């Protein structure tokens, strides 16, 4: 089976959920015998030096990259106010990418073209014109739902109006394109139900993001020296919003009650307002070389999210490492872990404090939570199992809609 995977950014290094989701699935499909080709944009926001890729990033038969300056530009953003186009999406419309896509489709015959996220939807017509491949949309989120939640949590009225305006145009684009795909691959059952409620009518499946648990060889929790961590791309608004909330509403109480407890913060594109914070036992690391090593160094992992959609891959990583995850109900969406069994759930400052207090006073219970967390990830979010199921689904679709493809591996 030949699969062309389209991405809006290069899926390496593995420092954010999208890159992890793309890379682990493509690697697993390759190991299952699929011939994987990557076409992606290499954006200014998440630029990757292709020459520096590690030797084990070898699961693609071919990698094709076009560069794109997708930085937010004030003049273009202003002009977009008078356009029906979604500014979220238009920043990823690129002539060079389109030309490279046409060249690939003319030179090779693909069975599946898999779009990673809504931002590749503008290229569906190009694919239809130059290929008879099945087009699948792997929806990492319900995109407009993220921004509706951000709008709701925004206090400053001019900013709230502007985000709301952009969100309405993004929602219109997402709904207008909803039935353009042959098949929809949602990453959670909740998202799949949402898409169907919004009017999606074609074939669909929920296929959760998986991780390669063999990459997460954790060390045992150190109960006598607890520390907390937060890690996430801080140019993604929900992450920054959640971190700001914790620092404003919880961190002061933590310092008072647990004066020796350290809080370590890491994230790509950490803004100056976070870098310049001065608070005892608050350690700002900026971008770290290894997310796994960073998470593994701290027994408690905080994920205070109040906006977002889809799945939080960082939670899966923390669970695989046996860390004690304290997250919000929204942060845990799409992951069927349970409070005080594999994770801790807190939605208010008081609930966060109770969870942190529990970690200090009941260290013997943390070992049990840690072991259940690791077992839970292996059982439900093993990447090989998820990729195997998705490959079999693709084979059935090809047998039904493209019988000439019968016999492919």
Are 152 and 319 within 8 A, CB to CB?
A: no
**Omega within 30 of 0 (cis) for the link into 13:** yes
Distance CA 101, CA 8 (A): 13
Residue 171 main-chain phi, psi, to 5 deg: -65, -45
The region, left, alpha or beta by phi > 0 then psi within -120 to 50, assigned to residue 407 is left
277 membership: H or E segment, kind and range: none
Distance CA 375, CA 338 (A): 13
- Listing DSSP states for 86-146 in one string gives -HHHHTT--HHHHHHHHHHHHH---SEEEEESGGGGGGHHHHHHH---EEEEEESS-HHHH
What 3-state DSSP class applies to 321?
coil
pLDDT at 16: 86
The region, left, alpha or beta by phi > 0 then psi within -120 to 50, assigned to residue 402 is beta
Distance CA 83, CA 78 (A): 10
Nearest to 171 by CA among 138, 149, 203: 149
Q: What is the DSSP letter of 221?
A: P
pLDDT at 408: 54
For 92, residues 6+ apart whose C-beta sits below 8 A from its C-beta are: 8, 41, 68, 70, 119, 120, 122
For 186, residues 6+ apart whose C-beta sits below 8 A from its C-beta are: 139, 192, 195, 204, 205, 206, 207
Total Cβ atoms within 10 A of residue 317: 24
Q: Using CA atoms in the order 308, 24, 381, 114, what is the torsion angle rounded to 10 degrees?
A: 70
pLDDT at 406: 52
Distance CA 344, CA 326 (A): 5
pLDDT at 221: 72
For tokens 């594109």, the residue is 269
pTM assigned to the model? 0.89
363-380 helix and 349-361 helix, angle to the nearest 10 degrees: 110
What are the structure tokens assigned to 96, written together?
Answer: 């060079």
Domain ranges of the chain: 2-210+382-405, 214-380
Are 368 and 344 within 8 A, CB to CB?
A: no
The region, left, alpha or beta by phi > 0 then psi within -120 to 50, assigned to residue 381 is alpha
Q: What is the DSSP letter of 208?
A: -
**Domain 214-380 in CATH 3.40.50.2000:** yes
Distance CA 41, CA 71 (A): 13
Q: Do domains 2-210+382-405 and 214-380 have the same CATH topology?
A: yes
CATH hierarchy code of domain 2-210+382-405: 3.40.50.2000
For 300, residues 6+ apart whose C-beta sits below 8 A from its C-beta are: 226, 227, 228, 229, 323, 324, 326, 356, 359
What 3-state DSSP class applies to 329?
coil
Mark the ranges of the chain whose per-residue pLDDT is less than 70. Answer: 223, 404-409
Q: What is the DSSP letter of 348?
A: S
Distance CA 80, CA 83 (A): 5
Nearest to 309 by CA among 79, 150, 170, 154: 150
Please state, in angstroms and as integers, the Cα–Cα distance from residue 262 to each residue in 229, 251, 259, 311, 349, following that order: 8, 10, 8, 27, 18
């Amino acid at each position: 089976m030949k699969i062309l995977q389209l991405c809006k950014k290069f899926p390496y290094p593995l420092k954010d959920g999208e890159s992890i989701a793309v890379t682990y699935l493509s690697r697993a499909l390759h190991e299952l015998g699929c011939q994987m080709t990557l076409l992606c944009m290499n954006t200014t926001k998440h630029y990757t030096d292709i020459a520096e890729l590690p030797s084990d990033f070898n699961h693609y038969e071919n990698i094709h990259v076009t560069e794109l300056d997708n930085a937010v530009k004030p003049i273009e953003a202003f002009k977009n106010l008078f356009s029906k186009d979604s500014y979220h999406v238009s920043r990823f419309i690129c002539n060079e990418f389109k030309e490279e896509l046409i060249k690939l489709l003319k030179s090779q015959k693909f069975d599946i073209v898999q779009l990673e996220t809504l931002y590749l939807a503008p290229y569906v017509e190009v694919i239809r014109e130059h290929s008879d491949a099945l087009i699948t949309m792997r929806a990492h989120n319900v995109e407009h739902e993220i921004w509706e939640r951000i709008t709701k949590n925004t206090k400053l009225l001019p900013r709230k109006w502007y985000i709301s305006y952009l969100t309405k145009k993004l929602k219109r684009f997402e709904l207008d394109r909803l039935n353009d795909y042959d098949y929809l691959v949602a990453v959670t059952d909740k998202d799949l139900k949402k898409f169907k409620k919004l009017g999606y009518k074609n074939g669909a499946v929920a296929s959760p993001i998986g991780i390669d648990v063999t990459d997460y060889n954790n060390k045992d929790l150190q109960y006598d020296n607890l520390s907390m961590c937060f890690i996430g791309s801080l140019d993604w608004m929900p992450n920054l919003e959640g971190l700001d909330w914790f620092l404003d509403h919880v961190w002061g109480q933590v310092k008072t009650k647990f004066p020796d407890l350290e809080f370590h913060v890491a994230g790509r594109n950490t803004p100056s307002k976070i870098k310049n914070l001065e608070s005892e036992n608050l350690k700002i690391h900026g971008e770290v070389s290894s997310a796994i090593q960073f998470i593994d160094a701290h027994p408690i992992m905080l994920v205070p999210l109040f906006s977002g959609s889809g799945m939080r891959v960082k939670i899966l990583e923390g669970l695989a490492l046996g860390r004690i995850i304290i997250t919000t109900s929204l942060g845990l969406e799409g992951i069927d872990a349970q409070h005080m069994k594999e994770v801790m759930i807190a939605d208010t400052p008081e609930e966060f404090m109770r969870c942190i207090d529990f970690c200090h006073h009941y260290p013997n219970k943390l070992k049990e939570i840690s072991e259940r967390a690791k077992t839970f990830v292996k059982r439900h979010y093993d990447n090989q199992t998820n990729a195997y199921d998705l490959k079999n689904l693709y084979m059935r679709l090809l047998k039904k809609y493209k019988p000439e493809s019968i016999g492919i591996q």
